[in-house]
Structure 1
Amino acid sequence: MWQINMDSPVMAQKARVVVAPAAAPDGGYARFILLSCFLVFGLTYGVIKVFGVFYVEIHRHFEATATGTSWITSIAVATLHFLAPLASVLSARYSHRSVVIMGGLMCGIGVVFGSFARNLSELYLTVGFLNGFGYAMTWPTTVTMLGLYFEKRRPVANALASSGECVLTFVLTPLFQLLIDSYSWRGALLILGGLQLNLCVCGMLLRPLKATRYVICEVKAGEEGLSQELLPKDDSEQSKPSFLDAEELRVSDGSDHGTIKAFLEDPEEIPNSTMKIQDSNNRTKRAELRTKILRYIDYTLITNAKFMVYSMFGVFAALGFFAPGLFLIPYARSKGIEEYQAAALMSISAVLDLFGRVFFGWLANLRLVEMVLQLTATMLLLGTVLLLCPLASSYLELAAFSAAYGLMYGAAVAIHITMLAEIVGVNRLGSALGFFLLIRSSGGLLGPPIAGFFIDKMSDYGSGFLMAGASLIVSALFLILLHQMNRRGQGSSTNNHHTHTDNMGQSVRAEAEELNMT
């Protein structure tokens, strides 16, 4: 309990309360949040990877170009990234649970309507935009919730949650190849739409994290002073993301009382007093408006140099992340690989992807090396693997490539969201994730079509992998720049500490010399 005594007879009219941030439990109900995030990863990014099976059939059915067909996936990915800040705002305004349920409904409806599409434009609208809108409502919101529930084990939790993408890719790729053979690609899409309605169930699992809100429950005004007692009160809505750790306690004195007192002492001062009170009220209103805006979306992140450098890494990484998964099966089919063997390549990639996420997530949790260095090495290796892909032609060579690609891809995905939390802090993760995905949306939108453009020009799917590999290597350069910024920041902090210590030592020596002289 806190007591605030003020030596003033003025009665308080307004007060702000101190909000204690919720502590991450790292256990208990956090396991259900982890399960929800696991399924969300599988039903969003896992489905994006599985769409390579549909790509071949849609490409044939509409007799479209590789660029035209790839726009379906790129629109979904870009919409996911571009509308992620909207998900952050809606989560802060309403709740994580309701936003994810709404997103699940949009995903299911979009894919079901897409099964009746008569041309590529209708697929762009349904499977592309509407489905991507649902992804934007579900994935960032669930990942933010996971970050609130885990702190000490956050790298491992993110790695385990993201492994849902691998598990469902492994299961769904051969399953949907079988469904396409049995019911055509339209029937398979209809079943996929029903499957994605399970995202609503994932949303129901998102229980708000309880925090402590200290509210004014009693106000006592006496002749000698003002006493306010603050008592703790549970508030389940504190799971909503906010970059503010706590709000300052502010008590404003009664404006009417102050005006009357000033008038009695000096009637000529009343205009000045009134203007001062009005200016104070205007400043208070502006501060309250700014606090409300920042609660929903932290626009100050654009002034964070490290965050912007990391966002540029995200743009070039997105250019290369999504094209290989989309074109791996068509590339194998172009080399004469049988359709089920080609689909099995995605399953091989998913198994190694799963191992990479769990192992490298655990490795990051040990903090043996800086996370930015681990991510840099991973991106360089992943880009190199993609550049070597066109050399593979037989099934065994393609299987080896799929394994290497899956391992490195899993290592990158396991820590790149955790890295974002390291840069901005967990309290700003909701807004940071939204802005990060918004900036990265350009890479997600243009990556597959650019790869498709090279494929159409070169008449070879291998050229798409070359483009993706080059983009990933460029993205690693921004991580190197971020590492240098971190080192400079640590160096300046150390210098400031030494300077402060030297100043303290000099003052102590000066005092000692004065004592000796006296």
Structure 2
Amino acid sequence: MKEDYIVENRRYKMVPPDGGWGYMICVAAIINFITMTMFGGSFGMVFKELLVELNMGSTSVTLLSGISLMCVALSGYFTSALLRLLSIRNLAFLASILMNIGVFCTIFVHSQFLFFLCQGLQSIGMGVLWNITCTLLNDYFLKKRLMAMSFTQTISAAGGMVAPLIVKWSLEANGFRGTLFVISAISLHTFVAVALIQPVTKHMVKVEIEKTTDELKLLINEKAKPGANVATPTITLTDTESGFEAKADNCEKQEKNTGSKRVLDNFVDLPLLKKFLLSNASMGPTFCLFADLIFNLMLPQALYSMNWSEDQVAKALSLASCGDLVTRIAFVFLSKWLTKIGNQEVCLISVALAFVSRLCMLWSENTTVMMIFITTIGVARCSFNVLPPVILADTFSPAKFTSVLGIYMLMVGLMNLVLGPAIGAIRDTTNSYSTAFYVITSCFAVVLLLWTIELLYKKNKHKRIIQREAAEKLKKMNSKNKGKK
């Protein structure tokens, strides 16, 4: 817990280390991100034979994706409540067990039910582990948050870039079940990451808070009082940035609530949910991630339907991952500059890029040109994976981060469960991947329009407030000058 202390007329606060053991947390995050996302873009390649064997069409595949992401979403959403029952390391260990059981058992699947079950178990573990990993990065880093998030996900993107090539080699050498065994072996590394996890309270750094003139006067008055003892450590909840006022209010509410209402409040934060749903800063990245996931799921099958060879599909997927990787590397080195521009503004630029690149890909029939735009799609994809946790951390208080991240995951899961199969049904009904891709591309257009309007409105509102304050100050100065005369 972050706390403020007043010791010998000096006030201190506990802040994240922005380094130290945080770098080991980065190592754990890299391992978790690699194991969870490395082979996500190669789903179509890995399970191509199994999907044919189980007679699963586009509707079944999108339904599987929706159910899997819903499991990720629900487990991620309940992570905050589960952390009240288990320590963060124990919960991460349990999540790793579930995830690895799901991955390993998929090797022996011969029916759709078992395939859905194994993918569900894997997804439950992934949801908890992903939420915990992002929460730890958010806890350990404050000023370097974007850099830490970008760096850890850059390494995982490097894994995603080589994954299609590894899958291609393994399919030729071992078959798809042997490939699943290789993926299972890689997944076991999550237990190494769990061993590195420690709560941030063990590594907080104490820094002195500079006193303002008013605070110095107050401190002198307190010292002048009889019996005052300013040398005694005092805990104050003055650091609004750390969110302790929110934590104190939440504790008071929990003490007042009893019975079923208290249980409901522990699992559903209605004011937080309302704020999330009404903000483009939270719903925009959510909608974009949903559209990008569905697009990536359908892309390999769409390329196969255009008579692309296995080598061409693998190359296209690798180029998309390469674009993603290069952008993440740029985020690491340009993090300070990008933070000045604004995380929301950077993400909005990526939404525009995702919209334009998908349209251009659909309008082209040349293989080389299509690969260029697929690479550009990978560039835009970076923002939808890296920026959402950072944007949510900027928009909501740190005390609410785990909960709001769970809501974010829940919304993505609901969209994939409801809208994903609908897009798959459109593809099966029209027998056209282009039609489905146009529907997906329209999602980016909607986000681009609404988010731009909101940002422009907020900026104009901020300017009006500044102008109003300046006018009031000028009016007061004029009044004082008239009074002197």
TM-score, length-scaled by structure 2: 0.80
Q: Which residue of 2 aligns with 1:195?
A: 186
The RMSD of aligned alpha carbons is: 3.7
CA distance in 2: counterparts of 1:462 and 1:55, whole angstroms: 22
Return the match for 2:154 from 150, 156, 163. 163
Question: CA 1:248 to 1:346, structure 2 compared with 1: closer, same or farther past 3 Å?
Answer: closer
Question: CA 1:144 to 1:448, structure 2 compared with 1: closer, same or farther past 3 Å?
Answer: same
Equivalent residue letter for 1:431: S
CA distance in 2: counterparts of 1:48 and 1:350, whole angstroms: 11
Q: Which residue of 1 aligns with 2:81?
A: 89
Q: Which residue of 1 aligns with 2:311?
A: 340
Question: CA 1:489 to 1:432, structure 2 compared with 1: closer, same or farther past 3 Å?
Answer: farther
**5+ residue gaps, structure 1:** 4-18, 214-223, 234-240, 250-281, 514-518
Flag the structure with larger Rg: 1
Deviations 1:213-251 (A, max 9, x none): 9xxxxxxxxxx9898985489xxxxxxx984258779xx
CA distance in 2: counterparts of 1:21 and 1:450, whole angstroms: 51
CA distance in 1: counterparts of 2:131 and 2:73, whole angstroms: 9
Q: What SS does the corresponding residue of 1:382 show, helix, strand or coil?
A: helix
Equivalent residue letter for 1:194: A
User: Number of paired residues?
Assistant: 449
CA distance in 2: counterparts of 1:212 and 1:478, whole angstroms: 41
Checking the alignment, whether the CA contact within 8 Å between 2:242 and 2:398 is kept in structure 1 is no
Task: Tell me the CA shift for residue 126 of structure 1.
Answer: 1.2
Question: CA 1:120 to 1:324, structure 2 compared with 1: closer, same or farther past 3 Å?
Answer: same
Equivalent residue letter for 2:297: L
Checking the alignment, whether the CA contact within 8 Å between 2:426 and 2:436 is kept in structure 1 is yes
Checking the alignment, whether the CA contact within 8 Å between 1:320 and 1:468 is kept in structure 2 is yes
Equivalent residue letter for 1:369: I
Q: What SS does the corresponding residue of 2:244 show, helix, strand or coil?
A: coil
Question: CA 1:72 to 1:291, structure 2 compared with 1: closer, same or farther past 3 Å?
Answer: closer
Question: CA 1:78 to 1:492, structure 2 compared with 1: closer, same or farther past 3 Å?
Answer: farther
Task: Tell me the CA shift for residue 308 of structure 1.
Answer: 3.4
Task: Map 1:31-430 to 2 at 5 A.
Answer: 31-127=23-119, 129-210=120-201, 211=204, 231=233, 243-245=243-245, 285-286=255-256, 299-304=270-275, 308-360=279-331, 362-366=333-337, 367-430=339-402
CA distance in 2: counterparts of 1:119 and 1:58, whole angstroms: 9
CA distance in 2: counterparts of 1:436 and 1:383, whole angstroms: 22
Q: Which residue of 1 aligns with 2:22?
A: 30
Q: Which residue of 1 aligns with 2:424?
A: 452
Q: Which residue of 2 aligns with 1:464?
A: 436
CA distance in 2: counterparts of 1:284 and 1:164, whole angstroms: 41
Task: Tell me the CA shift for residue 138 of structure 1.
Answer: 0.6
Task: Tell me the CA shift for residue 433 of structure 1.
Answer: 1.3
Question: CA 1:29 to 1:291, structure 2 compared with 1: closer, same or farther past 3 Å?
Answer: farther
CA distance in 2: counterparts of 1:483 and 1:149, whole angstroms: 29
Q: What SS does the corresponding residue of 2:56 show, helix, strand or coil?
A: coil
Checking the alignment, whether the CA contact within 8 Å between 1:84 and 1:434 is kept in structure 2 is yes
Question: CA 1:54 to 1:71, structure 2 compared with 1: closer, same or farther past 3 Å?
Answer: farther
Q: What SS does the corresponding residue of 1:83 show, helix, strand or coil?
A: helix
Q: Report % sequence identity.
A: 17
1:479 aligns with 2:470: no
Return the match for 2:404 from 408, 412, 432. 432
Equivalent residue letter for 1:286: K
Q: Which moved more, 1:307-316 or 1:163-172?
A: 307-316
Q: Which moved more, 1:494-503 or 1:314-323?
A: 494-503
Q: Which residue of 2 aligns with 1:274?
A: none
CA distance in 2: counterparts of 1:175 and 1:187, whole angstroms: 12
Task: Tell me the CA shift for residue 379 of structure 1.
Answer: 0.3
CA distance in 1: counterparts of 2:23 and 2:413, whole angstroms: 30
Deviations 1:40-93 (A, max 9, x none): 222223332221212422221122211112322332222212332211222354
CA distance in 2: counterparts of 1:242 and 1:438, whole angstroms: 25
Task: Tell me the CA shift for residue 499 of structure 1.
Answer: 6.5
CA distance in 2: counterparts of 1:449 and 1:412, whole angstroms: 21
**5+ residue gaps, structure 2:** 207-225, 236-240
Task: Tell me the CA shift for residue 139 of structure 1.
Answer: 0.7
Checking the alignment, whether the CA contact within 8 Å between 2:75 and 2:124 is kept in structure 1 is yes
